Amino acid sequence: MKDHFTRWLPAIAKTPYQWLSTEPNRKLVLSVAGVAAIGGLAFAPTTAAASVTSGPDAGAVAAIELATGKQAADPESDSDSEPEPTESTDPDRTSEPAASDTDSPMREQLIPYGVQGAQSYIQVDNAQRANAKEIIEVAKATGVGERGAVIGVATALQESKLYNLGHLGSYNDHDSQGLFQQRPSTGWGTPQQITDPQYAATAFFEALKNVNGWQELPLTTAAQTVQVSAYPFHYAQWEEQAAELVAELW
């Protein structure tokens, strides 16, 4: 639970975020109404993980998939069609982050201690990639560097699958919203602020910087200390894909 995160990170409770952007959200925020208008389909459970603050939430995951047209096809409509892959665990996957140019960070900068456990992967669309890029740019601006960027992207992959989620009505986890599923009731900011990717990422990284020795911690420990999740080990599964995205978009 995030109810008492200020006990873990007292500096965050004292840090004024008024200097951050308070303009209306500059990015698309997915909500139940928007999802229904885009998808026009009923919610259905999937195998993808949702916000870890309350465990897998099929409704929130369905909202994401409907909004992006990734809803699994009706098995009766086309039995020969191959379903689009969503999330998979592949212990044999050994691909490393791509190095597109000399400025791309090296793997030892991104994953200095190796990954923990089996890794999960999802296909990312342009909206997800843009949100990952925003997190990376804020990582640069806040000084947490390549490793911090990997932690941030991995956290958002677990919390929202890199979609900027608005309030999902009855499917919502308490009052969590945005890329990092931050909660206004625990001091992260207003709903308008936490659904602004730049603000949300800045708040996350400023909290991360307050974690003593975060650079030497396993990813899941660093992320958990900020997020105070009921499922602290779920972040680890996204470290490899987060590193790939950071290497590609840095």
The answer to whether residue 171 sits within a structural domain is yes
Average pLDDT over residues 13-23: 42
pLDDT at 190 over 50: yes
DSSP string of 129-173?
Answer: HHHHHHHHHHHHHHT-HHHHHHHHHHHHHHHHTT--B---GGGS-
Is there a domain that residue 185 lies in? yes
> Cα(164)–Cα(195) distance, rounded to whole angstroms?
6
187, with CB counted inside 10 A (0-12, 13-18, 19+), is middle
Mean pLDDT (the chain, rounded):
73
Residue type, 149: A
- Position 146 scores a pLDDT of 97
Bridging pattern class, strands 87-89 and 120-122: antiparallel
pLDDT, tens digit, 9 for 90 and up, residues 204-233: 999 999 999 999 999 999 999 999 887 778
- Domain membership of residue 33 (yes or no) is no
Task: Note the pLDDT tens digit of each residue in 79-93.
Answer: 343 434 445 455 445
Does residue 141 fall inside a structural domain?
yes
CA distance 45 to 59: 7
- Is 142's pLDDT higher than 50? yes
152 is a domain residue: yes
What pLDDT sits at residue 243?
A: 98
In a domain, 155, yes or no: yes
Beta strand spans in the chain (E):
87-89, 120-122
How distant, in Å, are the alpha carbons of 55, 74, 119, 208, 229 from that of 243? 24, 34, 12, 18, 22
Kindly report the pTM of this predicted structure: 0.66
Q: Is residue 25 part of a domain?
A: no
Amino acid at site 95 = S
Q: Is residue 16 part of a domain?
A: no
How far is 51 from 15, CA to CA, in rounded Å? 25
pLDDT at 147: 98
Domains held by the chain: number: 1
Q: Please, which residues bridge with residue 182 across strands?
A: 177
Average pLDDT over residues 23-50: 43
Task: Tell me which residue range forms the domain holding 197.
Answer: 113-249
